[in-house]
């Protein structure tokens, strides 16, 4: 995952353009992708696909020809979607177009308002004299397309689990390259799943809106979903519930997170693309998983969000959490107790003997008793795990053992 983050980091991405295509081509080396190009001007719900933006170079040179600000050193130096410009300006003329932070280069964009500008540290600005300065932004803004990609792992069921992450940020490692890297590894780990898993790699906001506009007829297949962002910083995990608030995905993630430091947040219509999937017309069961949430750390949307900011341990923890969530979604089903009158004799069926010597013998025994008691066709295994305050894995293992002993049958 770290190698993928470091490889993708230098690419200048935006909501459209060759940087997105290059990013998807690299992801495509790890996963088979279906890439879609949606032409400029296409109406997508209440929006229209914007013109495509590409940039080759940009700089501010002082009177000696030294580059005070250089796009080639860091692509955050240019305001995203800046229109082309070439000219000579005094510092006073440039100031309204210069965006700064102390010690950090901020990330700024202007997708739907044609303008231009540069981002730099406050210290760099303070060291600039009155000029004049030669300025270049070698960019193009013209009709093209918006690019997104999907990877689908077909399951036994056509019902889908949606994992969505955005591909529009330039050199920002945690937001969202760590999310992309974790999604890639999660996709690679899925083997013969019960659900079908759909991974969407798309630019933020307009990408999700475009996907929804082009897939309105199939959204009813989405039974569970997550947006994945900020997956590699050292903070604890944070989950934002779906608009529904009590969807199975909300309960599954909350159940898994109880074993680690975490924060649970109620839905709000601000943040990442969960707000598009959860818009009232769709109201899909899609929550948002991050570590430190949107704008919650000083490095957010600045040059401080570099590969050194993300940790292998944090990405591994995010991935492990997602795998456990998948385990809950895959294994959560309802059973019927085939011996519901009194407690069945487990000893003569070898079920108690099979637990001997295990370090979790008591937990496994309690899981069997709870599964037997609540397997009335109305309670799922997640219901039982929550009620019994037991790990889902223990409850699922008990159900497998009891099913094997002909004490349970799956409710269809």
Give the number of other Cβ atoms within 10 Å of residue 190's Cβ: 18
Q: Is 255 assigned to a binding site?
A: no
pLDDT for residue 354 is more than 80: no
pLDDT of 200 reads: 98
- What average pLDDT is seen over the chain? 95
Q: Which residues of 79-88 are buried (b: 16+ CB within 10 A; e: fewer)?
A: bbbbeebeee
Domain 333-410: CATH class, spelled out: mainly alpha
Residue with more model confidence, 349 or 383: 383
pLDDT for residue 201 is more than 70: yes
pLDDT for residue 180 is more than 90: yes
Task: Single out the residue of 122, 131, 119 nearest to residue 172, CA to CA.
Answer: 119
pLDDT of 347 reads: 81
pLDDT of 290 reads: 97
Provide CATH 1.10.10.10 ranges for the chain: 333-410
Provide CATH 3.50.30.90 ranges for the chain: 52-142
Furthest-apart CA atoms within the chain: distance in Å: 91
Question: Residue for token digits 């193009």?
Answer: 140
Q: Is 175 assigned to a binding site?
A: yes
Provide CATH 3.40.630.10 ranges for the chain: 2-50+145-330
CATH numeric code, 2-50+145-330:
3.40.630.10
Give the pLDDT band of residue 357 (cuts 50, 70, 90).
low
pLDDT above 90 as % of the chain: 92
| Residues 98 and 128: beta-carbon distance below 8 Å | no
Q: Rounded mean pLDDT of 376-400?
A: 95
Q: Rounded mean pLDDT of 65-89?
A: 97
Q: Rounded to whole angstroms, how far apart are CA atoms 73 and 90? A: 23
pLDDT of 238 reads: 97
Q: Which residues contact residue 79 at a Cβ distance below 8 angstroms, ignoring those fewer than 6 apart?
A: 97, 99, 108, 109, 110, 115, 116, 117, 118, 119
Which is it for the CA torsion 77, 82, 84, 89, positive or negative?
Answer: negative
Give the pLDDT band of residue 359 (cuts 50, 70, 90).
low
pLDDT of 392 reads: 96
Q: Is 301 assigned to a binding site?
A: yes
Q: Rounded mean pLDDT of 219-248?
A: 97
pLDDT for residue 405 is more than 70: yes
pLDDT of 346 reads: 84
Give the pLDDT band of residue 356 (cuts 50, 70, 90).
low
pLDDT for residue 353 is more than 70: no
pLDDT in tens, 251-293: 999 999 998 999 999 999 998 999 999 999 999 999 999 999 8
Give the number of other Cβ atoms within 10 Å of residue 152's Cβ: 16
pLDDT in tens, 32-44: 999 999 999 999 9
pLDDT of 294 reads: 84
**52-142 belongs to which homologous superfamily?**
Domain of unknown function DUF2172 (3.50.30.90)
Give the pLDDT band of residue 168 (cuts 50, 70, 90).
very high
- CA separation (Å) from 191 to 330, 382, 401? 12, 22, 22
CA atoms within 13 A on the CB side of 229: 29
Give the number of other Cβ atoms within 10 Å of residue 129's Cβ: 10
pLDDT in tens, 284-343: 999 999 999 888 999 999 999 999 999 999 999 999 999 999 999 999 999 999 999 998
pLDDT in tens, 106-122: 999 999 999 999 999 99
pLDDT of 358 reads: 57
């Amino acid at each position: 995952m770290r190698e993928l983050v470091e490889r993708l980091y230098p690419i200048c991405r935006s909501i459209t353009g060759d940087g997105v295509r290059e990013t998807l081509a690299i992801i495509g080396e790890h996963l088979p992708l279906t890439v879609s190009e949606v032409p400029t001007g296409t109406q997508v719900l209440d929006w229209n696909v914007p013109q495509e933006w590409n940039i080759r170079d940009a700089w501010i040179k002082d009177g000696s020809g030294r580059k005070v600000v250089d796009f080639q050193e860091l692509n955050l130096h240019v305001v995203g979607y800046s229109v082309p410009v070439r000219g000579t300006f005094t510092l006073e003329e440039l100031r309204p177009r210069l965006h700064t932070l102390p010690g950090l280069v901020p990330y700024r964009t202007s997708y739907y308002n044609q303008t231009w500008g540069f981002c730099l540290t406050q210290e760099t600005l303070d060291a600039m004299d009155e000029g004049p300065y030669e300025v270049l932004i070698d960019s193009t803004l013209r009709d093209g397309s918006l690019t997104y990609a999907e990877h689908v792992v077909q399951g036994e069921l056509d019902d889908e689990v949606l994992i969505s992450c955005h591909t529009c940020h330039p050199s920002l490692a945690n937001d969202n390259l760590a999310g992309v890297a974790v999604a890639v590894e999660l996709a690679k780990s899925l083997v013969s799943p019960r659900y079908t898993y759909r991974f969407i790699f798309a630019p933020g906001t307009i990408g999700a809106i475009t996907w929804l506009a082009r897939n309105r007829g199939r959204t009813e297949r989405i039974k569970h979903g997550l947006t994945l962002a900020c997956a590699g910083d050292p903070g604890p995990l944070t989950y934002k519930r779906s608009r529904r608030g009590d969807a199975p995905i909300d309960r599954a993630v909350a159940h898994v997170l109880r074993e680690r430091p975490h924060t649970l947040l109620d839905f709000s219509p601000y943040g990442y693309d969960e707000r598009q999937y959860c818009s009232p017309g769709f109201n899909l069961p899609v929550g948002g998983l991050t570590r430190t949430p949107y704008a919650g750390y000083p490095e957010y949307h600045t040059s401080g969000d570099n590969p050194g900011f993300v940790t292998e341990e944090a990405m591994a923890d995010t991935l492990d959490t997602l795998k456990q969530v998948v385990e809950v979604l895959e294994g959560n089903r309802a059973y019927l107790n085939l011996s519901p009158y009194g407690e069945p004799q487990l000893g003569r069926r070898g079920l108690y003997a099979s637990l001997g010597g295990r370090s979790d013998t008591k937990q496994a025994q309690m899981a069997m008793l709870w599964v037997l008691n609540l397997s009335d066709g109305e309670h799922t295994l997640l219901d039982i795990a929550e009620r019994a305050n037991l790990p889902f894995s223990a409850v699922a293992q008990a159900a497998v053992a009891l099913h094997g002993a002909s004490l349970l049958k799956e409710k269809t």
